[in-house]
Chain A
Amino acid sequence: MVSDPYLGKYTTCISARSTDREILKKAQDGGIATTLMVYALEEGIIDGVIVAGEGDLPWKPRPFVAMSRKDILKAQKAKYNISPQISWIKEATRSFGLDKVGVTGVCCQIQAVRKAQLYPINMRDVPGKIAFVVGLFCMENFLYDSIQAIVEDHTNQSLSSVKKMRIGKGKFQVYTERGNVATAPLQATHKYGQPGCYVCLDYVSNLGDISTGSVGSPDGWSTVFVRTRVGNDIWSKAVDAGLFETKPIEEVKPGLELVMKLAKIKLDGNRKTLEERRNFGVNKALRDPYA
């Protein structure tokens, strides 16, 4: 077990991608999140999972409880704006009647799940019914109007023509259905970030059973941290079942070094923001949720 102040606790870190062609076709990266949840559903490890599906506007996510492979696949791809995943966590155990709930989401949403498990405040039944949690890496998130401004103004594309968005190599990249690629420098997107993200102290979903992201692995592959006993159990069974191609993280470029570098940039930067909040006014501080 590794315990790292920036990358959290984990037993293994690998580079991986799904062997399921249908899933890979539409995956954001290696299709890890989707493949794991489909596997967990088919094995009876979960009986439903909260995912970020399509909303009522192009690229606006809508969280929902998926209970079939088909529905889990509807949530493929990263939507770079807020999807209040946890709003379904109690309902999943009520009208949906689930006993073993799966959750996907970014770091802060996984933190919310763990808080609900240890300090359930009006969250009856939730602590014991969380069965499997897959967290995504997350540098920051955007508001819907921000994503609209970035895509429509900065990259000059129509949101409804976009097939995929990616953040990488210092750029916000937009791929359209008809094959165009447009980018905006990441610098230009910073003013659009969700303010609450600037006090976030987690980059690689430290509290997931398994966490995954794109950074560190080549295009089409994912970096994966296997963390808890639940995560280890599911990961080893899924690999044995032939669901993933894997490579030791040490053998891929840019590898763990870049993950660590970005984690440091995020956490150190946000610690500084928290420090500044302590002297934000004159003899007045802004609130610190971690105090």
Chain B
Amino acid sequence: MEATKEAKPVANKIKLGHVHFSGCTGCLVSVADIYQGLLKILDDYADLVYALTLVDVRHIPEMDVALVEGSVCIQDRESVEDIKETRKKSRIVVALGSCATYGNITRFCRGGQHNQPQHESFLPIGDLIDVDVYIPGCPPSPELIRNVTVMAYLFLEGNEEQKALAGRYLKPLMALAKRGTTGCFCDLMNDVINQGLCIGCGTCAASCPVRAITHEFGKPQGDLNLCVKCGSCYGACPRSFFNFDVIPEFESISELIADALR
């Protein structure tokens, strides 16, 4: 079959990129697991201008939205340069997945393995550059990546009303980025239970990818030796953030996103 190029590119697509640091590519697989929705996004809303796994572009180009996966090894000079370059070249930097947001499993790194035994220190990207939006999760949910991508498009290219909605939607994910770069079961102790906010709903246990959380008489019990420090439980907890200007609109917002991807 003859290769065809878009005769007339769809106007005002945003430039989307995937930048890979010390990650496992599972975050990118989650992007791909938007399935048909991803093709629609790439048809109508975004050009994938950079993604070493998928696109033959060798150097970090200008991007409207950079989806950054993995933490950064500070003993690897190229990685450190690349994360700085990513910030310089991107309007919106999204830390995609728990390694980029919180370090996750790379928090446990301590070097001493062939053949770079000195590669021992890994930091979430927010310790090296300013990050705009967090998508926590190990793995991150495809639906959340989809929502953030659609909202980022509306934020950059939508009308006033769409911009406002996208701003409201993204706000708590931006607040998570401001809050810090550590994730742990302890977040539930420090910032929920110790703060008198836990209601025993069980959400944290459902979100934990390693089943480190059970409930004893209605309250979270964490197995800290199982916890991989992904920060999911705190993010999913309805008492970390609960934005009344967005969540009660679940019906219309879900429809809006479904319509955009139809």
Contacts and interface: CB of A to CB of B under 8 A. Distances in A.
Interface residues of A, number: 54
B254 interface: yes
Nearest to B144: A120
B195 A287 contact: yes
B143 A112 contact: no
A224 to B, nearest CB: 18
Interface stretch (B5-13, B50-58, B122-130, B228-236): B228-236
B141 A290 contact: no
B143 A124 contact: yes
A49 to B, nearest CB: 15
B192 to A, nearest CB: 8
Contact of A127 (B143, B197, B199): B143
A144 B200 CA distance: 12
A121 B235 contact: yes
A122 B244 contact: no
Interface in A87-143: 87-91, 105, 108-109, 111-112, 114-124, 126-128, 141, 143
A123 B147 contact: no
A234 to B, nearest CB: 14
B244 A114 contact: no
Interface residues of B, number: 53
Given A87-B202, A114-B250, A196-B199, A122 B137 contact: yes
A263 to B, nearest CB: 15
Given A114-B250, A118-B254, A196-B196, A124 B218 contact: no
B140 to A, nearest CB: 8
A119 B217 contact: no
A127 B34 CA distance: 13
A124 B238 contact: no
Interface stretch (B38-46, B64-72, B105-113, B203-211): B203-211
Contacts of B219: 82
Interface string B138-166: 11111110010000000000000000000
B117 interface: no
Contact of B200 (A116, A196, A228, A290): A196
Contacts of A121: 136-137, 140-141, 144, 207, 232, 235-236
Nearest to A111: B238
B201 A109 contact: yes
A83 B219 CA distance: 10
Contacts of B141: 120-124, 126-127
Nearest to B142: A124
B138 A200 contact: no
Contacts of A63: 202
A120 to B, nearest CB: 4
A289 B237 CA distance: 10
Contacts of B209: 122
Contacts of B138: 122
B201 A117 contact: no
Nearest to A92: B206
B198 to A, nearest CB: 5
Q: Which of A83, A119, A126, A200 has the most CB of B within 10 A?
A: A119
Nearest to A107: B199
Contacts of B254: 117-118, 127
Contacts of A81: 218
Given A63-B202, A122-B207, A123-B207, 19 more contacts: A86-B203, A87-B203, A87-B206, A88-B202, A108-B199, A114-B248, A119-B236, A120-B144, A121-B137, A121-B235, A121-B236, A122-B208, A123-B141, A126-B141, A196-B197, A196-B200, A286-B195, A289-B238, A290-B244
Top 6 nearest A-B pairs (CB, nearest first) are A84-B202, A82-B218, A87-B202, A122-B232, A82-B200, A121-B235
Interface of A: 8-9, 60, 63, 81-91, 105, 108-109, 111-112, 114-124, 126-128, 141, 143-145, 194-201, 206-207, 228-229, 286-287, 289-290
Interface of B: 30, 33, 136-144, 147, 169, 172-173, 191, 195-203, 205-209, 215, 217-219, 230, 232-233, 235-236, 238-244, 246-248, 250-251, 253-254
7 contacts: A109-B201, A114-B247, A115-B236, A117-B250, A127-B254, A287-B191, A290-B242
